[in-house]
Amino acid sequence: MAEKKQGRLTKVLDYLKHDDPFSKGVAFCPGCGLELLLRFIPRVLGNDIVITGTPSCSAPVLLGQNNQSWHTLSYFGTLMTGAAANATGLVRYYRKAGIDNTVVCFNGDGTANDIGFGNLSGAAERNEPFIYICYDNEGYMNTGIQKSGTTPFGATTTTTPYGSVHKGKNLRRMNLGLKMAMNKIPYTATATLSDLEDLAKKLLKAKEAKERGFCFLHVFAPCPTGWGADPADTIEICRRAVKTNYFPLWEAENGRIRMTKTVKKPKSVNTYTELMKKFHHMTEADMKVLQDDVEYEYCLLGGLSVLEAECQLPVSVKDQGDAS
Amino acid sequence: MNTTTAPSRIKVITGNAAAAIGAKLARPDVVAAYPITPQTEVIEQISTFHASGEMDCELITVEGENSAMNAVMAASLAGGRVFTASSSWGLVFMYDAVLAVAGARAPVVMVNVNRETPGIIAVSSGQQDMISTRDAGWIFLIAEDCQEVLDLVLQAYRLAEDHDIQLPVMVHYDGFFLSYLSEGVDIPEQETVDRFLSVLDDQPRRTALTPGQKLGVGSHGILGGYMELRHKHVTAMERSKDKFEEIDKEFAGIFGRPYGGQLEEYRTDDADIVLVGSGSMCGTIKSVIDDQREKGMRIGLVKIRMYRPFPHQALVAALKGKKGVGVVDRSLAFGFEGGPIYTELKAFETRLDGTQLISFIDGIANTDITKTNVEKMIQMTRDLADGKDVPEVTWVSYPEANTKGEK
Amino acid sequence: MSSNHYFKHEGPWSDAGDPLMCTDTGDWRTKRPVVDKDKCIFCGFCAIYCPIQVMEMQADTHFEANLDFCKGCGICAKECPKDAITMISEGEFVS
Amino acid sequence: MMSEVRFHGRGGQGVVTTSKILANAFARTGQFGASFPMFGFERRGAPVTAFGRFSDRPVREKTQIYNPNILVVLDPSQKDSSTVFAGLLPGGMLLLNDKENSGDIRHDNLRKLAVVNASGIAMEEIGLPIPNTVVVGAFAKMSGLLDINPVVEALADYFSGKKLAANEICAKRGFDEVRIVEL
């Protein structure tokens, strides 16, 4: 029998210092990106976090049913309209009462970018000391796959269906991560499930940065059911999203953007879209629009990450000192 | 003219300022502030107290009323004492959170400065915002004057945070007519207020969301669990009636101002006709009653101070045997001809042994409930009691509505 | 008087003191992962990428799926760098 | 006469659509049908229950179904579960989607059993193991309450083009290939 090559255990396991507080049998679809992310967070950050969640795909797991619970974390079931404001109330009282805490405001893209964007923006503007994690599955999945503000151009959902006249979403997606980074909040970052070590590091950085104020994590979390993908492809979809610059990985400390993964030879976006039925109706012309979007956002990101060093705009020489 | 109370305690301030001072004296941990006419001065005053260090609270200048209620809900469920204030469109913008607060039994105390809502843009006084949210599951209290605004805020904390109650309380007062009216108000000493509120510290601590405590709030209520929670809520609302009476007596003992609990009965003992009203209109009504009394008119006022839960037992006891009762509503009940409070009282008409009820709608959209309006209402209630033909509903300041009516 | 049968508090509080709820998700799958111990190089990719975190270490030689909860999504098989895991239809295992 | 039918399956099998198509078919014959799912969240792979009331008189009841006289089980792994048989009336019928026609299911109140390899037929005709359009054909045959034509016509409200054609074949094959066992 050939000597089995003793591979080295992945370093990611070193970050998983805490137990998985969730019951093993919970209601997420097979291959759900959200399930992996939800279990991953407390395994990295610890089981003393206070996590808030809204009616969503995570609700049947995050929120208790009568007196029974699916996990051992302290949680707060919020409304989509109030998520970040609820988290604000928690951290403000804990600060007043001197209670040490890590509050994780855990929401989908619908809450973060659409119905709850107001209080997300307010919490960022007030620099509230908690971690807001958006799991972006690009649509309202719990209600059965409707379009959201982060649904990409072209994608079909049940509210942007394929019809003879209209064919999928004809609007661009909002880039939530970039929007939040613009506020010079202590920490912003994007992350996804193919790069778990990167995700773990960013979670720990957020936990440290929250002492100085608001932290926002934009995590790309595919939904096989909603995207018409094979459940086995969830991680590969994340990998290709990064490799095509569809979902670049970066972080921003006090608004200064730094790529955490530079893709030397980015592939064209169709190597990403081919894994999901929601894109399969798209014409050449549609794909060009999507590719242009991806490149526009990536160049914007590139520009922002070198802005100060190579800024051509006139700046008052007198107070050239550190702006922060 | 000698002064009755120590001069330094009486200050001439607006209703809004009285609300802000009441909040300050209660020492809240977290205050959420978002401006809306006519409430703005409340949060401006609190911001000033906060800036000067007079108020050691976490002040959250939120981006909208919805976030105001959500922030104080969470802080309250985490164990903190909280305060916020709003009005009309702001109150209905936060309505989903208002419902969530009641469902979660978070003892939030809020001031609502009554203003016309919903549907027609009107920056003017009326109780429609209170009526639009009356079934939210909150305790509703209504103040008549600036002193009562301050006092009700303090009483609201004793009621909301009482271990047997644990319900959110909203203190209503008329925008414009009271929010902007300045009158002498006795500002209690901080120590006296601390003593009044310290009763709560001797009670068991309520359940609070604490990191690492394996406890969560905001769970699904499933079938029997949902019904159990709702039943606990309904019974707590009922308990709050007697609790409010006890708090009123204790308050009178400490601060020297008895109000009468759920209702204030003004010269009703020997009256055979009565007006039922709430809010700032009651001041005008009382002065007209005194004038009419001198002319031999046996007229009294029942002032509603607790509107939710609806004080029907107290109302029946106060009105039983009266010949005629005129209910003055400063709002509308869409779907009914008469006003909302009139319609609710009508449900108990059979327990009043033949007392006849009529409905007056007045004072909406800043219309002034003048003395002559009150005299007219009293005269119509007199005619009702004397068996004359009187329309069931009268829009006192909008005669076009009273097509059958006179003049 | 209202009971405390469903909730132990006045409000909608759930405490994790009682045993956690658990759904029989193992019954959801149509295929299951089978690990070839010889091909497995014990890298743990299957374990970190399993959404339910039920690819469990066996001594320190290889990993195996906890079939009480595995939903048969197939991520472990797809992510295994050595193709040591194959998804087999549940039909094959019906006794 | 009112039939109260309970459908058992899994997320992704089109359980709710099965009941809808039948209600649609009954309506086409001038009869009445009401179909609705058991409420709660759906997850792909998780058990799903749906209900259908079909009658020659208007259906007015709005409650779930506790004493079905007909059971339809789209997911073979649930064929022995007690919840499937809960409340079945004496003289009840069961339509089962199963690969091998075992027909070995017994229950005191079960009088008629029908088995059809709906998932298999669906794989052949539409390339997906979604059994519901085969099942509606089989249901018509087993229950004797419907001819195949209204069932096939009903499909036009849910499919079009090539998909409609393929699903029509599924319904017909269901009707023809269902094996009925009188117990």
Kindly list the domain boundaries of chain A, sorted by start residue: 12-306
A1 touches C: beta carbon within 8 Å: yes
Residue with tokens 């109780």: B127
Do B203 and B313 lie in one domain? The reply is no
How far is C-alpha D3 from the chain's CA centre?
Answer: 12
Which chain D residues are within 8 Å of C27, Cβ to Cβ?
47, 77
| Window 212-251 of A, Cβ < 8 Å to C | 224, 230-236
**Domain containing residue B231: CATH number:** 3.40.50.970
Q: Which amino acid is at B237?
A: M
Task: Classify B44 in phi/psi space as left (phi over 0), alpha (psi -120 to 50) or beta.
Answer: alpha
Contacts 24+ apart (CB under 8 A), B197-201: B197/B26, B197/B27, B197/B154, B197/B157, B197/B158, B199/B158, B199/B250, B200/B157, B200/B158, B200/B161, B200/B162
CB count in 10 Å sphere of residue A135: 27
First CA to last CA distance, chain A: 63
Lowest mean pLDDT of A264-273, B270-279, C86-95, name the range. Answer: C86-95
| Residues B326 and B291 placed together within one structural domain of the fold | yes
Predicted pLDDT at B5 = 47
B108 and B14 together in one domain? yes
Interchain CB distance below 8 Å, D43 and A142 = no
Answer whether residue A308 shows pLDDT above 90.
Answer: no
For position B2, what pLDDT does the model report? 52
Residue pair D148/D25 in contact (Cβ under 8 Å)? The answer is no
Mean pLDDT confidence for D139-156: 96
* Pairwise CB contact (< 8 Å): B229 & C7: yes
* Cβ contact, residue pair B216, C13, below 8 Å: yes
Provide, as residue numbers in chain C, all residues whose Cβ is less than 8 Å from the Cβ of A28: 51
The per-residue pLDDT for A322 is: 52
Tokens 């976006």 correspond to A269
The pLDDT of residue A2: 43
CA distance B41 to A99: 32
pLDDT at A288 over 80: yes
Taking the CA of residue D125 and the nearest CA in chain A, the distance in Å comes to 20
Angle of CA points B263, B268, B273, to nearest 5°? 110
Please report all neighbours of D, defined by 3+ CB atom pairs within 8 A. A, C
Q: Do C71 and D45 touch (CB under 8 A)?
A: yes
Q: Are B250 and B269 part of one and the same domain?
A: no
Same domain, B219 and B326: no
Comparing CB atoms, the residue among A27, A224, A231 nearest residue D41 is A27
Partners of residue A86 in chain B, C-beta under 8 Å: 70-71, 73-74
Cβ-defined contact of A225 to D46 (cutoff 8 Å): no
pLDDT band for position D182 (cuts 50, 70, 90): confident
In a domain, C63, yes or no: yes
Q: Which two tokens stand for residue A48?
A: 């003393």
CATH number at residue B308: 3.40.50.920
Alpha helices in B263-367 (DSSP H): 281-294, 312-319, 340-346
* Same domain as B231, residue B105: yes
**Omega prior to B38 cis, within 30 of 0:** yes
Q: Model confidence at A45, in pLDDT bands (50, 70, 90)?
A: very high
| pLDDT tops 50 at residue A1 | no
Domain membership of residue C11 (yes or no) is no
Q: What is the end-to-end Cα distance of chain C in Å, rounded?
A: 53
- Residue C18 within any structural domain of the chain: no
The helix or strand, by DSSP H or E, that contains position C23, with its residue range, turns out to be: none
Tell me the C-alpha to C-alpha distance, in Å, between residue A6 and each of A1, B177, B198, B406: 14, 82, 67, 101
Instruction: Tell me which chain A residue has its CA closest to the CA of residue D44.
Output: A29
Q: What is the ipTM of this complex?
A: 0.87
Contact A142 D41 (CB under 8 A): yes
For residue D101, the model assigns a pLDDT of: 65
- Whether C71 sits inside 8 A of D77 (CB atoms) is no
| Of residues B77, B103, B235, nearest to C2 (C-beta) | B235
pLDDT score recorded for residue B267: 97
Task: Note if the bond before D150 is cis, omega within 30 degrees.
Answer: no
Return phi, psi of residue B395, to 5°: -85, 100
Q: Tokens 């991680």 identify what position?
A: A235
For residue A68, give the nearest of C18, C47, C87 by CB distance: C18
Separation in Å, CA of C13 to nearest CA in chain B: 4
Asked if C13 lies within 8 A of B229 by C-beta distance, the reply is: no
Residues A135, A33 contacting (CB under 8 angstroms): yes
pLDDT digits (tens, 9 = 90+) for B92-132: 999 999 999 999 999 999 999 999 977 788 889 999 999 99
- Distance between C8 CA and the closest CA of chain A, angstroms: 7
Q: Please report residues of A whose CB lies closer than 8 A to that of D42.
A: 144
* CB nearest to A67's CB, from C14, C24, C43: C14
Q: Domains, chain D, ranges and CATH?
A: 2-182 (3.40.920.10)
What does DSSP assign to residue B6? -
> Which of C20, C40, C44 minimises the CB distance to A70?
C20
Closest approach of D10 to chain C, Cα-based (Å): 8
Task: Give me the domain span that covers residue C56.
Answer: 26-93
B103 contacts in C (CB within 8 Å)?
A: 11-12
Q: Which residue has the higher pLDDT, A1 or D47?
A: D47
Task: Show the DSSP H helices in B256-390 as ranges.
Answer: 281-294, 312-319, 340-346, 371-385
Residue type, A177: G
* C19–chain A nearest CA distance, Å: 8
Contact call for D10 and C29, based on CB within 8 A: no
Q: Which of A30, A60, A224 sits opposite D41 (nearest CB)?
A: A60
- Give me the pLDDT at residue C2, please: 75
B41 found inside a domain: yes
Instruction: Find out whether D93 and D111 touch, Cβ atoms under 8 Å.
Output: yes
**What's the total number of domains in chain B?**
2
Contacts of C20 in chain B (CB under 8 A): none
Residue A7 has pLDDT above 50, yes or no: yes
pLDDT at A320: 55
Which residues of chain A make contact with D45, given a CB cutoff of 8 A? 29-30
Q: Which long-range contacts (CB under 8 A, 24 or more apart) does B220-223 make?
A: B220/A59, B220/A63, B220/A64, B220/A65, B220/A66, B220/A77, B220/C12, B221/A66, B221/C6, B221/C7, B221/C12, B222/A65, B222/A66, B222/C6
| Residue D27 CB-density burial (10 A; 0-12 exposed, 13-18 middle, 19+ buried) | middle
The Cβ-side half-sphere exposure at B276, using a 13 Å CA radius, reads 31
Q: Is it the case that residue A318 has pLDDT exceeding 70? A: no
Are B322 and B175 in the same domain? no
Q: Please report residues of D whose CB lies closer than 8 A to that of C29.
A: 45
Task: Please give the order of strands across the beta sheet that includes B393-395.
Answer: B263-266, B299-304, B273-277, B324-329, B356-361, B393-395
DSSP A279: G
Q: pLDDT of D52-89, one tens digit each?
A: 999 999 998 888 899 999 999 999 988 888 899 999 99
Which residues on chain D place their C-beta less than 8 Å from a C-beta of chain A?
11-12, 41-46
Prediction pTM value: 0.89
Task: Answer whether C62 touches D (CB < 8 Å).
Answer: no
Q: Which of C28, C72, C91 sits opposite D46 (nearest CB)?
A: C28
Residue B362: inside a domain, yes or no? Answer: yes
pLDDT band at A317; cut points 50, 70, 90: confident
Mutation target to probe the A interface, by most A beta carbons within 10 A, among B59, B65, B67, B226 is B67
Interface contact A56, partner D, CB < 8 A:
no
Tell if the CB–CB gap between A93 and B58 is shorter than 8 Å: yes
Q: What average pLDDT does this structure show over D89-112?
A: 89
Domain that holds residue B70: 7-255
Confirm if B347 and B355 have CB atoms less than 8 A apart.
no
CATH of residue C50 = 3.30.70.20
In a domain, B407, yes or no: no
Q: Do B60 and A48 touch (CB under 8 A)?
A: no
Mean pLDDT by 10 residues, chain B (407 residues): 57 94 98 94 94 95 95 98 97 97 98 89 92 97 97 98 98 94 94 98 96 94 95 98 98 96 97 97 96 96 98 98 97 96 97 96 94 97 97 95 64
pLDDT tens-digit readout, B306-325: 999 999 999 999 999 999 99
pLDDT digits (tens, 9 = 90+) for D4-20: 999 999 988 999 999 99
Instruction: State the best of C21, C29, C30 to mutate against chain D, taking most chain D CBs within 10 Å.
Output: C30
Sheet holding B139-142, edge to edge: B58-60, B30-32, B82-86, B109-114, B169-174, B139-142, B306-308
Residues of chain B with Cβ-Cβ distance to A88 below 8 Å are 60, 62, 67, 70-71, 74
Question: A324 falls in which pLDDT band (50, 70, 90)?
Answer: very low
Class of domain A12-306: alpha beta
Which chains contact C through at least 3 pairs of Cβ atoms less than 8 Å apart? A, B, D
Q: Note whether B71 contacts A69, CB cutoff 8 Å.
A: no
**Beta strands C31-35 and C85-89, pairing class:** antiparallel
Counted domains in chain C = 1
Q: Is residue D1 very low, low, confident or very high in pLDDT (cuts 50, 70, 90)?
A: confident
* Count of pairs with CB atoms under 8 A, one residue in C, one in D: 15
On whether both B90 and B114 belong to a single domain, the answer is yes
Whether residue B20 is contained in a domain is answered as yes
